[in-house]
């Protein structure tokens, strides 16, 4: 996927080289466990949305099987959220997955992540599975969003 660069208005969407430094500030916004992040980055591709030379957002794609790929992490710098960059990252991740001939793309989010559930469904993903107690089993500290505890992971899927 080295050659993949998409351009949209002033944003570019580019695959990061494995030897470039990891964007932990963004990665940990979406996933507070550095251990888990480091584990899946080994097998994943990282794509970065940049404006001029500045990184504004990131999306991580992890192949699960020959036919299925998962968005493992997506994050936009807080001061740039709500301007369509998250949608841009997901739309381009879908484009990459389709070009690579995957049949299905997945994205997981917590039961408490109301905005993300809205966004992913708006972009064509449908709830397909629940990983019960994923957050309580895998994270040392309890996570709360919108006053609701993140306990279960909802997996959403989109056919390509
Ligand atoms: C989730 C995230 C990547 C979305 O990026 P973004 O650039 O803000 O998304 P967009 O601007 O494309 O938003 C698209 C829509 O989703 C809505 N939305 C996105 N996140 C939302 C939230 N947390 N709460 C409510 N609505 C939200 C926007 O209002 C917008 O709706 P509209 O198109 O009807 O106006 C970004 O909020 C983020 O980095 N969050 C922190 C990390 C995170 O939670 N990652 C996901 C882990 S599952």
Answer yes or no: is the C-beta of 58 below 6 A from any ligand 1 atom. no
Mean pLDDT, the chain, integer? 93
Q: How confident is the model at residue 8 (pLDDT cuts 50, 70, 90)?
A: low
The pTM is what? 0.91
End-to-end CA distance of the chain: 18
Domains of the chain plus CATH, in order, are: 5-159 (3.40.630.30)
pLDDT, tens digit (0-9, with 9 covering 90-100), for 67-118: 999 999 999 999 999 989 999 999 999 999 999 999 999 999 999 999 999 9
Q: How far, in Å, is the centroid of ligand 1 from the Cα of 50?
A: 17
Point out the ligand 1 atom lying closest to the alpha carbon of residue 75: 39
Of all protein residues, the one whose alpha carbon is nearest to atom 35 of ligand 1 is 82
Q: How far is CA 154 from CA 8, 38, 113, 150, in A?
A: 30, 22, 10, 10
Point out the ligand 1 atom lying closest to the alpha carbon of residue 81: 8
């Amino acid at each position: 996927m080295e050659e993949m660069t998409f351009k949209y208005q002033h944003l570019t969407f580019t695959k990061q080289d494995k030897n470039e430094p990891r964007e932990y500030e963004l990665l940990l916004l979406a996933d507070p466990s550095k251990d888990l992040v480091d584990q899946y980055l080994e097998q994943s591709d990282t794509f970065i949305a940049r404006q001029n030379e500045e990184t504004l957002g990131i999306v991580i794609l992890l192949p699960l099987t020959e036919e299925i790929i998962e968005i493992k992490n997506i994050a936009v710098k807080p001061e740039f959220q709500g301007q369509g960059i998250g949608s841009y990252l997901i739309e381009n991740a879908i484009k990459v997955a389709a070009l690579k001939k995957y049949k299905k793309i997945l994205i997981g989010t917590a039961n408490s992540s109301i905005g993300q559930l809205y966004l992913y469904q708006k972009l064509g993903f449908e709830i397909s599975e629940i990983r019960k107690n994923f957050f309580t089993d895998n994270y040392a500290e309890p996570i709360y969003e919108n006053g609701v505890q993140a306990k279960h992971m909802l997996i959403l899927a989109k056919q390509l």
